[in-house]
């Protein structure tokens, strides 16, 4: 390396957000890892251009999403049977793109089993999260499903990220609504 070339800088290790689940969680939405905006705000889907909260409001139009107050929005989605977390507990990443994630550590999904006794399905918010679908299901089924129970259904949903510009809002909404309807979360 020439003397005037600065050494490569390793990005700092980032830590994700805790799970937002309850005993009422029926569908668990898993993202990959929070964006820079979400980490700064310590809130899931904090980027103003992300479609996540707009999609939920469109699915549940009869129940207004609280405009102010993150904790009120979390209580709102938990009351409707939805839970949130990410696949990665920590990683190195510059910026917010999933393609920049390096040295990721996967969350401990087995720890959710007792906290979500009504869990019926896992919905991955985008392709990076979906890469870990088999691991997530194995972790949640570590003790084995009750006799005669089917394994948890797993869905790959279109990412709500503004980086997913190839899908229109209407197309994203239709895909998300279909999964929610399959598990009784639309009305």
pLDDT in tens, 140-159: 876 555 545 567 899 999 99
Q: Is residue 1's pLDDT more than 60? A: no
50, 107, 125, 164: the catalytic one is: 50
For tokens 């229109």, the residue is 168
pLDDT in tens, 11-44: 689 999 999 999 999 999 999 999 999 999 999 9
Mean of the per-residue pLDDT values for the chain?
89
Residue 104 CA to residue 45 CA, distance in Å, equals: 20
The ranges assigned to domains in the chain are 14-182
Architecture in CATH of 14-182: 3-Layer(aba) Sandwich (3.40)
Residue 129 CA to residue 131 CA, distance in Å, equals: 5
DSSP three-state, residue 138: helix
Q: In the prediction, which pLDDT does 46 show?
A: 94
Higher pLDDT residue, 150 or 178? 178
Three-state secondary structure readout of 67-123:
CCCHHHHHHHHHHCCEEEEECEEEEECCCCCHHHCEEEEECCHHHHCCCCCCCCEEE
Residue 112 CA to residue 62 CA, distance in Å, equals: 30
Q: Is residue 8's pLDDT more than 70? A: no
pLDDT in tens, 67-91: 779 999 999 999 999 999 999 999 9
Q: In the prediction, which pLDDT does 113 show?
A: 84
**Residues β-bridged to residue 123:** 29, 155
Task: Sheet with 88-92: list strands edge to edge.
Answer: 13-15, 88-92, 102-106
Query: Is 50 assigned a catalytic role?
Result: yes
């Amino acid at each position: 390396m020439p003397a005037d070339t600065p050494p490569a800088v390793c990005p700092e290790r980032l830590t994700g957000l805790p799970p937002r689940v309850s005993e009422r969680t029926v569908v668990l939405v898993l993202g990959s890892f929070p964006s820079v905006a979400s980490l700064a705000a310590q809130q899931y889907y904090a980027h103003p251009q992300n479609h996540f909260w707009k999609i939920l409001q469109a699915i549940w139009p009869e129940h207004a999403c609280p405009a102010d107050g993150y904790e009120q929005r979390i209580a709102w989605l938990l009351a409707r049977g939805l839970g949130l977390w990410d696949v990665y507990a920590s990683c190195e990443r510059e910026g917010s793109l999933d393609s920049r994630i390096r040295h990721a550590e996967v969350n401990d999904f087995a720890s959710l089993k007792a906290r979500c006794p009504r869990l019926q399905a896992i919905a991955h918010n985008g392709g990076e999260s979906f890469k870990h679908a088999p691991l997530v299901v194995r972790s949640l089924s570590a003790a084995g499903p009750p006799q005669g129970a089917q394994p948890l259904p797993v869905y790959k949903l279109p990412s709500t990220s503004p980086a997913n510009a190839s899908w229109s809002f209407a197309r994203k909404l239709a895909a998300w609504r279909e999964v929610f309807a399959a598990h009784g979360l639309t009305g």
